[in-house]
Copies of this chain bind each other. A is one copy, B any other.
Amino acid sequence: MEKKAAIVGGGVIGGGWAARFALMGWQVRVFDPDPDAPRKVNQVLENARASLPAVIDAPLPPEGEVIFSGTMSEAVAGARWIQESVPERLELKQTLYQRLQSHCGEDAIIGSSTSGFKPSDLQAISHRADQIIVAHPFVPVYLLPAVEIVGSAANPPETLDRAEEILRGIGMFPLRLAKEIDAHIADRLLEAVWREALWLVKDGIATTEDIDNAIRMGFGLRWAQMGLFETYRLGGGEAGMRHFLHQFGPALQWPWTKLTDVPDLDDELIDTIASQSDAQSGAHEISELERIRDGNLVAILKALKGQGWGAGQVLKEQDARLRGEDA
With beta carbons under 8 angstroms apart, the residue of B242, B270, B301 that contacts A221 is B301
Report the bound CA distance from A261 to B192 in whole Å. 12
Question: Which residue in chain B gives the minimum CB-CB distance to A299?
Answer: B303
With beta carbons under 8 angstroms apart, the residue of B139, B195, B209, B296 that contacts A307 is B296
| Interface secondary structure of A, over-half rule | helix
With beta carbons under 8 angstroms apart, the residue of B139, B145, B245, B309 that contacts A273 is B245
Any B CB within 8 A of the CB of A183: yes
Any B CB within 8 A of the CB of A175: yes
User: B213–A173 contact, CB under 8 A?
Assistant: yes
User: A249–B265 contact, CB under 8 A?
Assistant: yes
Stretch at the interface among A125-133, A157-165, A278-286: A278-286
Report the bound CA distance from A151 to B245 in whole Å. 29
Report the bound CA distance from A246 to B102 in whole Å. 34
Inter-chain contacts of A218 with B (CB < 8 A): 138, 144-146, 186
Q: Interface digits, A151-173 against B, CB 8 Å rule (1 contact, 0 not)? A: 00000000000000000000001
Chain A 112-136 interface residues, beta-carbon cutoff 8 Å to B: 116
How many A residues have CB within 8 A of the partner chain? Answer: 118
Q: Interface digits, A197-214 against B, CB 8 Å rule (1 contact, 0 not)? A: 111100111101111111
- Since A217-B310, A230-B281, A260-B262 are in contact, a sample of 13 more A-B pairs with Cβ atoms closer than 8 Å, ordered by chain A residue number, is A12-B237, A138-B222, A146-B217, A178-B205, A178-B206, A186-B218, A194-B228, A197-B229, A211-B229, A216-B226, A224-B300, A231-B293, A233-B289
* Cross-chain pairs A/B with CB under 8 angstroms, 22 sampled: A40-B237, A139-B235, A144-B218, A145-B218, A178-B204, A179-B205, A183-B256, A185-B210, A188-B199, A190-B219, A191-B256, A192-B192, A221-B224, A221-B297, A224-B296, A233-B281, A236-B286, A242-B270, A260-B260, A292-B307, A296-B304, A300-B303
| Complex A-B, nearest 8 residue pairs according to Cβ-Cβ distance, in ascending order | A212-B227, A220-B223, A146-B218, A299-B303, A146-B217, A224-B224, A192-B192, A208-B229
Interface residues of A (CB under 8 A from B): 11-12, 40, 88, 116, 138-139, 143-146, 148, 173, 175, 177-179, 181-183, 185-186, 188-200, 203-206, 208-231, 233-238, 240-242, 245-246, 248-249, 251-256, 258-263, 265, 270, 273-274, 276-278, 280-281, 286-287, 289-290, 292-293, 295-297, 299-304, 306-307, 309-311, 314
